[in-house]
Amino acid sequence: MTIPEEKEALRKSVSARIARMSDQQRRRESDEICRKILQILPEGKFEICGYMPLKDEVDVVPLLRELLQRRCALYLPLYTESGLVFHSVSSLEEDLHPGKFTISVPHPQLPPLDPAVLRFALVPGRAFNLIGRRLGRGKGAYDTWIAQQRILNSQTQFFGIAFRDQIVDEIPEDPYDQRVDRIITSSEISATA
């Protein structure tokens, strides 16, 4: 099997695992993950990239609301033809509109992220392993963005956010695939470096 075929088979396998989770289990794990993230983030204000979750992703919206209440600088992704662009968001109600992937996205006129100031990024994925490998949905947008961000600011920390059922032993890896610095699930926080 080729690496693309292995990746696609793994995506289907993990998607099936997530589909078997009850709504209550997803909610419980999402709540615990949000608590764990808050435990490892520093006090005070800082710059962080988040995401608006799809139904089968960890729901970090309560965490995003908490970060906005703390006056942290929150940036959310907008998918463009040239890749991911993160824009500053100060309200999840006023600064977002429906996007093409059935998730809310920031208005494009909002200020873009200055890569030099970014301290943390929450990164969704289809599957992760505990040494930081990440399997996305197959478009490569996050891999491209993470690679560029690391060039522009090597201090940025990338947190892979996952349900326990998204953790696997092996993930096929291409040279362009980007790893994350930590994996955060409801049961653990794993430093990968």
Residue 8 in any domain: the answer is yes
Residue 83 lies in a domain: yes
pLDDT digits (tens, 9 = 90+) for 150-165: 999 999 999 999 999 9
Mean pLDDT of 67-92: 95
Structural domain includes residue 187: no
CATH of the domain at 40: 3.40.50.10420
DSSP for 132-151, written as a single string: S-EE-SSS-HHHHHHHHHHH
Query: What is the pLDDT averaged over residues 130-134?
Result: 93
What pLDDT does 192 receive? 65
- 34, 62 contact by CB (below 8 A): yes
Mean pLDDT of the chain: 94
* Residue 126 pLDDT grade (very low, low, confident, very high; cuts 50, 70, 90): very high
The tokens describing 113, both together, are 């992220």
Instruction: Identify the band that residue 100 occupies on the pLDDT scale cut at 50, 70 and 90.
Output: confident
Question: Which residues is 86 bridged to in the sheet?
Answer: 77
Residue 56 lies in domain: 3-180
The whole-angstrom separation of Cα 79 and Cα 114 is 17
Burial of 191 (0-12, 13-18, 19+ CB in 10 A): exposed
190 within a domain of the structure (yes/no) = no
Across the range 77-105, mean pLDDT stands at 91
Please state, as a whole number, how many other Cβ atoms lie within 10 Å of the Cβ of residue 102: 9
- As a whole number of angstroms, the distance between CA 56 and CA 18 comes to 7
pLDDT confidence of 189, banded at 50, 70, 90? confident
Q: Fill in the DSSP letter of residue 44.
A: S
Specify the number of domains making up the chain: 1
Asked whether residue 53 carries a pLDDT value surpassing 90, the answer given is: yes
Confidence of residue 81 (pLDDT cuts 50, 70, 90): confident
